[in-house]
Amino acid sequence: MSATARPAAESPSPTIEDGRRSAEETAGWIQENWTSWLGVGLRILLVVVIAYVLRRVVQRMITKLIGRMTRTADAVDGTALGGLLVNHERRRQRSEALGSILRSGASFVILGTAALTVLSALKIDLAPLLASAGVAGVALGFGARNLVMDFLSGVFMLVEDQYGVGDTIDVGEVTGEVIEVGLRVTKLRGDNGAIWYMRNGEVKRIGNLSQGWATAVVDVPVAAGEDLDRVRAVIVDTGEEFGRTEPWSEQLWGEVEVLGLTAVSQGTATLQVQVRTMPGKSIGVERELRWRLREALLAAGVVMSDVPPGTVVPLRAEQAALPQQPAAPGGGGGGE
């Protein structure tokens, strides 16, 4: 029995009419949506142009501001005013650090706002993106909280001008001169020459010895039997002469004052002398003032505490170098 094979059903081939109809539908869809596409594209282009121009303008303004601050530091550098205020390197580093922070912050705000505006124009839902960014920020804050604390402390330190390059500061465990200031780490050079790296977030207190004014304090011990009024007069005269001598006249910010008698013990009376100085100059002023007071008191015949009463003190080095009379041999006083 033979079976008659049926021909398989074939799909109808596309005709010219079908192609024309598809083209008309595509053209109609494009015609309906091209205005919205053009509007979105122009909006994105406008946002990008505005963000670019605004970023350039803000960065140029910040650069001019930092340049003006640096030029002001250059103008006073090397003068007495520059020494009283801040040194050039400190001012320059602080200006550059603040400029870098301001430029980075302005760029982040402008570009971030532009990116969110573009995404909103593309009809992208920003809620999941912002939620993910919030979670990532919280995780970063917990994982790198010490790093964030260091940077925030460095920013506040620069804005408040707590210290700068060239300042002598006391941070509790170490005292030294600031040689470099960063947002995370500050470098100090200690008294023995060691360089200390101090994390900004770990500093709980800072004593700046180079801001405002400093105080030079000198204790003057004299024999308890001396006329203290005469000693005071000698000290005042020596202080006035000291204040008129270069270069100390620029480093002193006041007159040498005798605060009074601070201690009396074991035949010694101690008077305390004080004078205000430029920041960071108190140690040198103390040494020079102590030297001059000792020389002046000895020249006036005042007996110092380390010399027993009745001892003749030579006033000049050449007197001390005079030959001494030899002692009598045998200690006896026999005659011929």
Kindly state the tokens that stand for 94: 């602080």
Residue 334 DSSP class: -
The per-residue pLDDT for 313 is 42
d(CA 29, CA 215) in angstroms, rounded, equals 85
Q: If phi over 0 gives left and psi between -120 and 50 gives alpha, with beta otherwise, what is residue 174?
A: beta
d(CA 179, CA 193): 12
Task: Divide the 336 residues of the chain into consecutive groups of 10 and give the mean pLDDT of each group.
Answer: 48 62 65 71 88 90 78 52 52 74 85 85 75 71 74 81 82 84 85 86 82 84 86 90 85 86 84 86 87 90 66 44 47 40
Backbone angles phi, psi at 285, to 5 degrees: -65, -40
Adjacent-strand bridge partners of 223: 268
Taking the C-alpha atoms of residue 270 and residue 32, their distance in angstroms, rounded to an integer, is 100
Q: What gap in Å lies between CA 309 and CA 223, rounded to an integer? A: 8
What is the rounded CA–CA span in Å between residue 57 and residue 279? 39
Helices 127-143, 145-160: axis angle to 10 degrees equals 90
Can you give the pLDDT at residue 99? 79
Residues with Cβ < 8 Å from 9, sequence gap 6 or more?
Answer: none
pLDDT at 317: 44
- Which residue is it, tokens 């005469």? 230
Exposed, middle or buried: residue 111 (CB in 10 Å: 0-12, 13-18, 19+)? middle
Q: What is the predicted pLDDT for the residue at 141?
A: 66
Residue 28 vs residues 34, 85, 189: alpha-carbon distances, Å: 10, 74, 77
